Amino acid sequence: MSQKVVVFSQIDREILMKLEQRYQVVQINPKNGDVNQQILEASRDADGMIGAGRVLNERNLKHAEKLKVISSVSVGYDNYDVGYLNQKNIWLAHTPHVLTETTADLAFALLMSAARKVPSLDAWTKHGQWSRTAGPDQFGVDIYGKTLGIIGLGHIGAAIARRGFHGFNMNVLYHSRREKIETAEQFKAEFCTLNELLSRSDFVVVAVDLNAESRALIGAKELQLMQPHAVLVNIARGSVVDEQALIQALKNRSIFAAGLDVYEKEPLQQSELFQLDNAVTLPHVGSATAQTRKRMVELAYKNLVDALEGRQPQYCVKSA
Ligand code: NAP
């Protein structure tokens, strides 16, 4: 009998067809009731799981006695209880590299939109408010030649730094738990403490993975260190930044603007952020281009098949 695979989020049609040709497939569908209950039942005799955007832990996997692999269509894996999966010898695979450049593009789109007030000026124009030359209320802040502070100089952080250094002649600062000498050399990036980076940067971009140390890394105290003309961009995970403290900083204009792709609770359907003209709010679309999403799901499919055929997936968060 073929192995059973649980698809726990919407997935590319072609990949779904390939899965159905190879395996017995069960799809989790929010329209069919409580998602965690469905996962609990479907994972009971599953060999593999593939998808993104669901919290998977002991509570909804406790009956998954046969499970060999969870293949996440994402690079971030903070939704999964890695400790529990380790203990159960379940491989956790993810999709790094293939989304790096696309996510860095979006970080820059947010940086530029927030700095130059692109969304609010677009609305201003469309609402017929352009009756005179744009004045100080419409003015943004300069980007070219300014200081870019990257928190987390990993794959995406480095791709953002490259854009800033080569494209915008920016002076690059970075903060990580460990110094990244080789990467930093490429952009003449200076290693800083977090506080130094916050106080010296014109643009602060958060690009860390969410872990115990990066959770709530940027709170009210850290935001106060930023300059009044500075812009904060977060493409990492919402929980790295204290959202309420950020809203306060934006309301008080103690920073100029923020460009956000991620939030403490997603999907974000109601928020004070929506009332702020200095907050650019995107719906977690860092990797959301057709080409990149395709590359991600193809890699996740390969990771899944490898594991189900007994090979360790190429990109494994843990080794079984
Ligand atoms: P990565 O290569 O693992 O980079 C993460 C970097 O963060 C590492 O260099 C790490 O270095 C640093 N870091 C971790 N904890 C830190 C801390 N407490 N303080 C300072 N630096 C810290 O991962 P990546 O591929 O660049 O992706 C980064 C994250 O972006 C993902 O985990 C994901 O959550 C997010 N992401 C979001 C989207 C989106 O759609 N918005 C898309 C892709 C990825 P050290 O360990 O040396 O500190």
Number of domains within the chain: 2
Q: Is the pLDDT of residue 319 over 60?
A: no
Same domain, 120 and 39: no
* Mean per-residue pLDDT, 141-157: 98
Is the confidence at residue 318, as pLDDT, over 70?
no
Q: Is the pLDDT of residue 320 over 60?
A: no
CATH of the domain at 196: 3.40.50.720
Whether residue 286 lies inside any domain: the answer is no
- Judge whether 112 and 137 are in contact, CB under 8 Å: no
Q: What is the pLDDT of residue 130?
A: 97
| Within-domain flag for 259 | yes
Asked whether residue 9 falls in the same domain as residue 63, the answer is: yes
Q: For residue 165, what is the DSSP state?
A: I
Report the interhelical angle of 100-115 vs 155-162 (nearest 10°): 50
Q: In the predicted model, is pLDDT for residue 51 greater than 70?
A: yes
Average per-residue pLDDT in the chain?
97
Binding-site residues, ligand 1, Cβ < 6 A? 75-76, 96, 99-100, 103, 151-157, 175-178, 207-211, 213-214, 217, 235-237, 261-262, 284, 286-287
Per-residue pLDDT, averaged over 159-180, amounts to 98
Task: Tell me how far the alpha carbon of residue 214 lies from the centroid of ligand 1, in angstroms.
Answer: 9
**Coil/strand/helix, residue 144:** coil
Question: In the structure, what pLDDT confidence band is assigned to residue 246 with cuts at 50, 70 and 90?
Answer: very high
SS3 category, 151:
strand
Whether 110 and 73 share a structural domain: no
Asked if the structure places residue 320 within a domain, the reply is no
Q: What is the pLDDT of residues 101-113, one digit of tens each?
A: 999 999 999 999 9
Co-location of 12 and 160 in the same domain: no
Mark whether 170 and 183 lie in a shared domain: yes
Residue 93 has a pLDDT of 98
Chain CA centroid to CA 193, Å: 23
Q: Is residue 213 among the annotated active site residues?
A: no
Query: Which of the four pLDDT bands, split at 50, 70 and 90, describes residue 46?
Result: very high
Q: What is the per-residue pLDDT for 188?
A: 98
Judge if 192 and 258 occupy the same domain: yes
Q: In whole angstroms, give the CA distance from residue 144 to residue 166.
A: 10
Residue 100 Cα: closest atom of ligand 1: 25
The answer to whether residues 80 and 186 belong to one domain is: no
Helix (H, G, I), strand (E, B) or coil at 9: coil
Mean pLDDT confidence for 80-84: 96
What are the tokens at 151?
């928190």
Whether pLDDT at 285 is above 60: yes
In this structure, the answer to whether residues 15 and 108 fall within a common structural domain is no
Active site (annotated) includes residue 20: no
Verify whether residue 166 is a known catalytic residue. Answer: no
Categorize the per-residue pLDDT at 1 as very low, low, confident or very high, splitting at 50, 70 and 90.
low
Q: DSSP letter at 164?
A: I
Q: Whose CA is nearest to atom 9 of ligand 1?
A: 154
pTM for this model (two decimals): 0.96
**Residue 27 sits in the same domain as residue 57:** yes
Query: Bridge-partner residues for 218, per DSSP?
Result: 241
Do 231 and 122 share a structural domain? Answer: yes
Residue 134 has pLDDT above 80, yes or no: yes
Closest ligand 1 atom, residue 97 Cα: 25
Give the three-class secondary structure for 72: strand
One DSSP character per residue, 256-306 reads SEEEES--SSSS--S-GGGG-TTEEE--S-TT-SHHHHHHHHHHHHHHHHH
Range of the domain at 65: 4-96+291-308
**3-class DSSP state for residue 88?**
coil
Domain annotation covers residue 78: yes
